[in-house]
Amino acid sequence: MKIVITGSIAYDYLMSFPGRFKDAFVVDKLEKISLSFLVDSLRRQRGGTAPNIAYTMALLGDRPTIMATAGQDFAEYRAWLEEQGVDTSAILEIDGEFCASFFVNTDEDHNQIASFYTGAMAHAGKLHFADCAPDADLTIITPNDPSAMRAYVAECKALGLPYIYDPSQQTLRVTGEELREGLDGCTLLSLNEYEFSLVKEKTGLSEAEILDRAGGLVMTMGASGSRLVVGGQELWIPPVPPRVLAEPTGAGDAYRAGLLRGMQLGAPWAVAGRMGALAAAYVLEQFGPQNHSFTRAEFVARYREHFDDEGVLDALLVAPEYIPSPLPVAP
């Protein structure tokens, strides 16, 4: 199964605030917020939803394809991704633009406040599956230029290309109508608990009505784990405790990567979800969304410390070219 990942390509600026955001808000003054947070640290890292997902999928033995736009400052980043096993042939560099920038501040409770500058991402609508990835079997539409996200949904439906709809950080930006279009007919709707509440509010749809339109739901819930509603099942996936808790940026992307790799293996949904949970734990243990590393053997061994895969993950231990890739996931 060839999976094409769409989404942002960015440089992340990660900041740490030595306090709690909630202590800075005055409840009866929320309509006139004027705040500044003095941070203890600032790190610049490679990021963006598409490379974050692709990097972890490559660690798990896949060669994922990214379809996205990047800036004139992307050359070194491209070379690094190729070295990690990511196919960057469908990434278009835009002259006169820089890669998108993601600025995120994390407090002591691991709550985050973020801002995003689009940069070259604003040109994502110039790319099309029919031209860049005609052999795709599945795509995931992650946060990107809103107009491009809408166009990708329409193109997937026109081509009959199965897609996972993951508006996540763009849930606030896109309209209720666009959210309805995206989730209607998607293979999976993927977001976190807060974003799912926003989707319900903006679309006016209940969870049952959303599930009537989408093929399934993947909801991450931080330290509470994740919830999968798919194939007539409702599964609660426990988190894998990180060995040390560093910083949460990119953990959700790693979760999606583990889930997608499980789908490629034809794993049961429970196994695929637990692969996502373990991949997220690796990210939580490092600063930055692409600084974690593991061999496939290490991943399988750590998985089996927490869960039973009934031998499904033996497929990860063979050469990637011999790994089967059926669709859909087995029940």
Which residues are designated catalytic?
253
Among 226, 194, 193, 196, CA closest to 211? 196
Tell me how long the chain is. 331
Beta bridge partners, 216, equal 230
Q: Do residues 250 and 290 touch, judged by C-beta distance below 8 A?
A: yes
Q: Do residues 161 and 181 touch, judged by C-beta distance below 8 A?
A: no
Q: Do residues 301 and 316 touch, judged by C-beta distance below 8 A?
A: no
Calpha distance 179→199 (Å, rounded):
7
Q: Report the 10 Å Cβ neighbour count for 170.
A: 23
Tokens of 199: 């989707």
Tokens of 54: 């692709």
Cα 260 → chain centroid: 10
Dihedrals phi, psi of 110, to nearest 5 degrees: 65, 25
Q: Do residues 2 and 62 touch, judged by C-beta distance below 8 A?
A: no
SS3 call for 229: strand
Calpha distance 287→283 (Å, rounded):
8
